[in-house]
Structure 1
Amino acid sequence: MDDGSGLDRFDRAILEVLAVEGRISLTELGRRVGLTKSPAQARLKRLEAAGVIRGYRALMDPIRLGRDHVAFVEVKLTDTREAALAAFNAGVLAIPEVEQCHLIAGNFDYLLKVRTRSMADYRRVLAERISALPHLAQTSTYVAMQAVKEEGFTAT
């Protein structure tokens, strides 16, 4: 049964398995979702071609890589017209420490998730990179003390 997304139960099952085990073999993927290898492979290729699956990557543990300092930054802009938003977006994309950036409807314009090695590194990124972004008026920083839940997106 289609839920309006164009994805049926087999497509959703494939996405659920891949969200947890991206390196699974096609034979095992098919077995888990109730298909043989060929139909599973055809559906996987279709999901990739349609852009539902954008790619595959390794999930790394940022703590083991020494990047366990997380700050959330509220950003207010001086201008929120489309050109200003586009300039800000382009600037954020060039800052590797910004792990996520969301345009927000609320009392501020953007919410950034910034991951660094330490508070000193964060202060440097804030002072030298974030504060230099176009149309920036004000920031407010909230330091995360513990990640209770950090997961990737799933199809359900």
Structure 2
Amino acid sequence: MTRTMKTGTGNERRTGTKRSSRRRVAVTGGLGVALLALAAVPAQAKGSLDLTAPRTATVGKAFTVTAQGNDDAAPYQRICLEDRNGAQAWRQLACGTTVAREDGGDVQATAQVKAAQRGPLQLRAVLYGMTGPSDQHPVRYRASDVATVQVR
């Protein structure tokens, strides 16, 4: 006949292995969650896009709109200027020349705009990235904030 000791009688010795293994599991789990969170964050490309336009304009008079910017993710870049009246669709005004990233310069675009009717005219610049200088399918990388010109 063998004797077995009942648990909880106070005669067994505690080694602390349960406590340290729980701590080890908690630390390992925390590190795993942290690594997953870091892996889920997408890498952000550096770049900027600035649009310059007047606040007010007169009907029938031309005014100048300029944009400049860059993006380090695109091998070739181009900026296009767009406008719209009210809730209409965006319409392309002009595009700048295509610039290679290794040339190091900013991409620029300039347009002369002549407003035909009174009211707010919205303008924006869009930076496109391309795989080559004559790429027929540019990818939109970023758009500037909308600038509103009050036409009087």
TM-score with structure 1 setting the length:
0.27
* Structure with greater strand share of residues: 2
TM-score with structure 2 setting the length:
0.28
* Structure with greater helix share of residues: 1
Higher relative contact order (CA 8 A, sep 6+): 1
| Pair member with larger Rg | 2
